[in-house]
Structure 1
Amino acid sequence: MPNLTHQLALPAFTTRNRVFMAPMTRMRAAQPDDVPTDLMREYYTQRAGAGLIVTEGTQISPEGKGYHATPGIHSEEQVAGWRRITDAVHGAGGRIALQLWHVGRITHPAVHGGEPGVSASALPFKGTTRIQGPDGNLMSVDAPTPRALAADELPRVVDDFRRATVNARAAGFDMVEIHGANGYLLQQFMSTSSNHREDQYGGNLDDRARFPLEVVDAVVDAWDPAHVGMRISPLIKARGLDDSDGLEMGLHIASALNRRELGYLHLAEPDWDGGPELDDDFRIKLREAFDGVIIAAGNYTPDKSARILRAGWADAIAFGRPFIANPDLPRRLADGSPFNELRAEVISGGDATGYTDYPALIG
């Protein structure tokens, strides 16, 4: 039976193990141009033992930015910065995918020259983002009501995803992952709690999925299906969403991705952020809907990982916070070594503290 130490054959390449690194916003890109740094290169290279690293969310355009000091993939300087990172990860024997990100309404006018964020609909919601305060430190602020994207604007956003994919290839990434989860723009179109549109992009399942799937098709066209994955998060209750009917949409999207033969489906389970725990019935249905590689992420322990892999409901497990504190996480999981303690107060922003200073095992 498969376990975390086994290799995994993705359509595009074979991974060294099934311990994947989940995307995590760390907010350490150089300002003011959101360029990846040498410190970020050290951070990712330290974790090159993962079967696959999925980077932090990386905005496809200035409009897609929602937090202070997150990296982009829309300028030549950003592409060059990421190239230094992918070269280093590959030199350490690792594989790395870029997560393509548009935050939609989870933003603030302070990062957009006074303009509001954009979304499926102009609905007020309870959600916050983090920006740089007057004292230079991070501060949490409410994300204000967004502007609804007009139907004739959507091709522009789709093209931003396409261009970001071209840039990711130039930057040397092994794959791209489309961020359709965690309450950001694509999920804002998928969810009935954030999409009240009355045009062809709102209403029933097909119409709410139309824009996200247009993005998928554009990204695939810019590369190929094998080098594209997508992350979804049915039932999430975060960033203003109450995705109570999200399971139906999750299975709908999974079936659509299966028809397109995507490289993988990445399931972000809702229990990591205050949502309910997914039951096994959904896992069975998801496997029926998508017969390719499934990556599962959430509050995973070694025991839970073994159970899900053994049942065949996922093919790899993505770990988030355990990878922050343990750059050699695959080794620790393989031999049962204890974990370093996470310093939660320095996850976001700052310097090397709580970023690249966690010790690896010796010997």
Structure 2
Amino acid sequence: MLQRRATGGVGTAPHSPFCAGVPEHGLSWRRRGLGPGTGGATGRRYGHPADRTAEKRAGHFCLGNQPCAQRIISPRSFTPENSLTVYFIGAGPGDPELITVKGQRLIRSCPVIIYAGSLVPLAVLEGHQAVQVTNSAELHLEQIIELIKRAHAQGQDVARVHSGDPSLYGAIGEQIRHLRELGIPFEIIPGVTATAACAALLGVELTLPDVSQSVILTRYADKTSMPNGEELASLASHRATMAIHLGVNNLQRIVEELMPHYGADCPIAVVHRASWPDQDWAVGTLADIHEKVQAKGFRRTALILVGRVLADDTFSESSLYRAGHAHLFRPV
């Protein structure tokens, strides 16, 4: 059975790859009251950033208008009078317990929070003490940058909270470009990806010896064109494990492009809102998955996983834990 605490956490399905015995629903989060500042200012006031310099942990921060190798500097070498840092924080796939300790700490300490409310649950912001909290789902890029510029003028750190891992389909590239032009330091805090959450839910490893040692993360070319050579059919020719984002509404076309390479009997899973309380999924083969997903009614916020790793139980064991295999930490 899939076991979870009342506050969540991605569980495992020991009888996977098709989640036998795993309840489809019944997951829940225990949401306590959010900290002050959810809707605006609070009585708390933050000191000048110079007073908080010692609290910033060692890491790398990037500045604009310099070659890439020169943009990465030590925070100790950049402490101007009105410095701040924009933290691009990966909130994870949905379950608030899947955010990293560092991400949670920064959310609770930054005086300004800008979060992607369409995919980031409010429970992720629990315990914050920010004086300004903004849902960026209603804003365009220029408005977001303007909020950051205002925080910079006031010497305030910003928690820019994205779903999943911000470096994957997080649209942080254009934000970073603006920050570099403005000379505003930033740091990216990684997050748990939707792909990882789906693999955990299904109880599978995505890289198995003799089956697939590669994972391709991609999206379906719909409104966004794909660079030459990254068309789905081209990627499918490798027959590696594949995670396809933003494609559930084009599932039939995806199946048609995958089938010549993977075969009609290839396992596939479509996971809707992985790790959220209302998560759901459909599993099958390329031959029947479209009908199953239609019956479920998935329309958005779903990830497609395809590959033989989802159902292969005949793979060879890796040498990592083989008794006769010696390595640095286990000499024979």
TM-score normalised according to structure 1 size: 0.26
Higher alpha-carbon Rg: 2
Question: Which of the two has greater helix per residue?
Answer: 1
TM-score normalised according to structure 2 size: 0.28
Name the structure, 1 or 2, with higher relative contact order (CA <8 Å, separation 6+): 2
